[in-house]
Structure 1
Amino acid sequence: MLVSVQDVRRCLEQVVEVRDHYRQNVLNGDAVRKSIDQLRWIIETYLQKVVKVEDVEWKAKTIAAMALAIRDGSYEIYILQGLSDDARRFAYCKELFHVVIDEVEARTMSIYAHLEEVLATFPVDDSQPRKSTVSERLAEAAAMEFLFPYTDRLHFIGTAKDGVLDFEGCGAKRGVPPHLIELYCSDSYMDFFGKF
């Protein structure tokens, strides 16, 4: 999927800003396992965003969470009930970063069409999705950068024993699903994010 360098840079700069506030204002802010509730507090306090979070049950189990921008300037985040702890943490974190990186032109009113485009364009390298679809990838990257920053991923890869990386152990320590640890430590992802 084609994502502009400017969009990625702006997204990562916003993550750095949030992470700096988190480090300065959360007790043990440099801990490996970040508190998603404290992240929400940072977003509400320092970015002045109003965020309501609710666990919900819905039929479409493929959607772990979603964020809605409300006309009054607040946000609502809905998280699917029954997710594993790590999947819930990541989904919650990703939706909070939707709030952080929100742009009016990246919003959509058609959830079904949005999901269809996300599924159709994510695996295609040269696809040209709408801004709302790109925001899904950026929010995921932002969540990962907050929970497992690039420099930490470099260190993790560099300390592999006999070239074997313990994705399960790393994921358990950070509260991130192991498949995302593996994805973001892949050569292609490390090469891409290494440019920033």
Structure 2
Amino acid sequence: MQVDFQKVLEVFRKVKQLKEHQELYCLDPKRIPVSISDLTRVVADMYDLKIDVSEVVFTGERLRSLVERYADNHAIIYVKHDLTPEVQRFSVTKELMHLVIDEPEDWSPAGVATLQSFFTEMSIANGDHVAEARAQSEALAEIAAIEVLYPHEFRAAEAVEISTKKTTWAKLCLHYEMPRYALTRAHADWYKKVVDTAWNGI
């Protein structure tokens, strides 16, 4: 799947605005691990939303969470009840990022079709052969979640620490309370190239 790089830039602008609002709104905006309750309140304040998070029981290997948004500015995030705490935190953050980054054309009742067209690996395009908007929004929400939970400014030093065995993925997972798949993606060469270009572009 390819993702339009212009949409990536717009996502990073919104993430930057979110971080700036967090600085004003939260008593401890630099807290690591990021407080999900604080993040929920920041998103609600920015977009004038009432956001509820509910743990639910459902089966399925790929679906961990989803968000429903209503015309009365109410949003409900449903997250699978039996996830590890790290995966649950990341899943809720991804759904919060949908509320931040999605445009009207990204909201769709066709959730199953959207998930079927979404793959965890993606490439970045400049407008040619881009994926449909709903599938793109899934990919972009995951990127935004990584950028919110794992600040970009820490990664270069931690990449060195990983390579020199001064730290481990397990320690980083505990420190950020994030799943390993999200942390390792943040250090993938293709991801670093995209993120460095995007942050420099805004």
TM-score (norm 1): 0.90
2:40 corresponding residue in structure 1: 40
Would the aligned equivalents of 1:87 and 1:176 in 2 still touch at CA under 8 Å?
A: yes
Q: Compute the displacement of 1:181 (Å).
A: 0.6
Number of residue pairs aligned between Structure 1 and Structure 2: 194
Structure 1, gaps ≥5 residues long: none
| Residue-by-residue CA offset, 1:158-196 (whole Å, 9 max, x unaligned) | 344526762111111011101211111111111121111
Would the aligned equivalents of 2:21 and 2:42 in 1 still touch at CA under 8 Å?
A: yes
Would the aligned equivalents of 2:4 and 2:130 in 1 still touch at CA under 8 Å?
A: no
Alpha-carbon distance in structure 1 between the residues aligned to 2:185 and 2:4: 20
Q: Compute the displacement of 1:124 (Å).
A: 6.1
What letter corresponds to residue 18 of structure 2 in structure 1?
V
What letter corresponds to residue 166 of structure 1 in structure 2?
T
Alpha-carbon distance in structure 2 between the residues aligned to 1:151 and 1:193: 11
Alpha-carbon distance in structure 2 between the residues aligned to 1:178 and 1:24: 30
Alpha-carbon distance in structure 1 between the residues aligned to 2:154 and 2:62: 30
Alpha-carbon distance in structure 1 between the residues aligned to 2:118 and 2:60: 15
1:146 corresponding residue in structure 2: 148
Deviates more, 1:48-57 or 1:86-95: 48-57
SS at match of 1:195: helix
Would the aligned equivalents of 1:61 and 1:80 in 2 still touch at CA under 8 Å?
A: no
1:169 corresponding residue in structure 2: 171
Q: Which of structures 1 and 2 has the larger relative contact order (alpha carbons within 8 angstroms, sep 6+)?
A: 2
Change (3 A) 1:124 1:35: closer
What letter corresponds to residue 128 of structure 1 in structure 2?
V
Alpha-carbon distance in structure 2 between the residues aligned to 1:137 and 1:124: 8
1:95 corresponding residue in structure 2: 95
Task: Find runs of 4+ consecutive structure 1 residues off by over 6 angstroms.
Answer: none
Change (3 A) 1:11 1:194: same
Q: How does 1:88-127 map to 2 (within 5 A)?
A: 88-119=88-119, 122-123=120-121, 125=123
1:57 corresponding residue in structure 2: 57
What letter corresponds to residue 190 of structure 2 in structure 1?
S
What letter corresponds to residue 195 of structure 2 in structure 1?
F
TM-score (norm 2): 0.88
Q: Percent identity?
A: 22
Q: Compute the displacement of 1:155 (Å).
A: 2.4
SS at match of 2:72: coil
Alpha-carbon distance in structure 2 between the residues aligned to 1:150 and 1:116: 30
* 1:131 and 2:99 are equivalent in the alignment: no
Alpha-carbon distance in structure 2 between the residues aligned to 1:115 and 1:64: 11
| Residue-by-residue CA offset, 1:96-150 (whole Å, 9 max, x unaligned) | 011111211112222221121114xx44648632101100111111111011122
Alpha-carbon distance in structure 1 between the residues aligned to 2:178 and 2:2: 25
Deviates more, 1:3-12 or 1:126-135: 126-135
Structure 2, gaps ≥5 residues long: none
2:72 corresponding residue in structure 1: 72
